[in-house]
Structure 1
Amino acid sequence: MLIFTCPCCGERADETELSPGGEAHIERQSVESSDEAFEGYLFIRENPRGVHFERWRHAYGCGKWFNAARCTVTLEVFGTYPAQTMRPPQDLLDHISQRRPGWTWRDLA
């Protein structure tokens, strides 16, 4: 079971209290975008075996969105941070690098 600490209210919550929101840090497209760009936004996503950055909503708590870094293999949660952050905090990236030497994910490594 996944257990996250909500960075907005500080409460620890398991995945039954949260709503998943898909991959974090993707460029959102509008209806004015080209068909190819909109298709990429809707359907082309990372699905790594290992470290992944996701959006979650504290549905049965404060109701706010946040991002989380976790391992899709072991379900280890590396940390959470506010959804308004454009890039994961450097201390979180350093923590992941200590736990998973050599990991990469897009341009965040």
Structure 2
Amino acid sequence: MARMWFVLAVLGVVCFGVQATPTFAPPLPPRPQDCVDHCPDPTGPFGTYKCCDKNPGTCPPVRGSCTAVRGPVGQPRRCTFDPECFAHEKCCDDACIPYKVCKPARQHR
């Protein structure tokens, strides 16, 4: 009987002596006045967020193949979400580029 009390006492010390350490999630970024929705940032460290509000309009259709571009064309701006583009642009897929780029938005009337 005394041995059982000893075992229970040791278990009580072990059980109550172990404290759970709380885990904290990284804080959300401050919300800019002009941002409504935040999404996980696939390009940043784990737990970071970016504004992912949608610009008006839709992306142009993705080309079926890569065709030659005529005229002076600059380097396309890489993006993850619409707010990284100008207000009249959308962050869209492209058949010739392995990442999303800013393209003029199609407005529906």
Which TM-score applies when normalising by structure 1?
Answer: 0.20
More strand by share: 1
Structure with the bigger RCO (C-alpha within 8 Å, sep 6+) is: 1
Which TM-score applies when normalising by structure 2?
Answer: 0.20
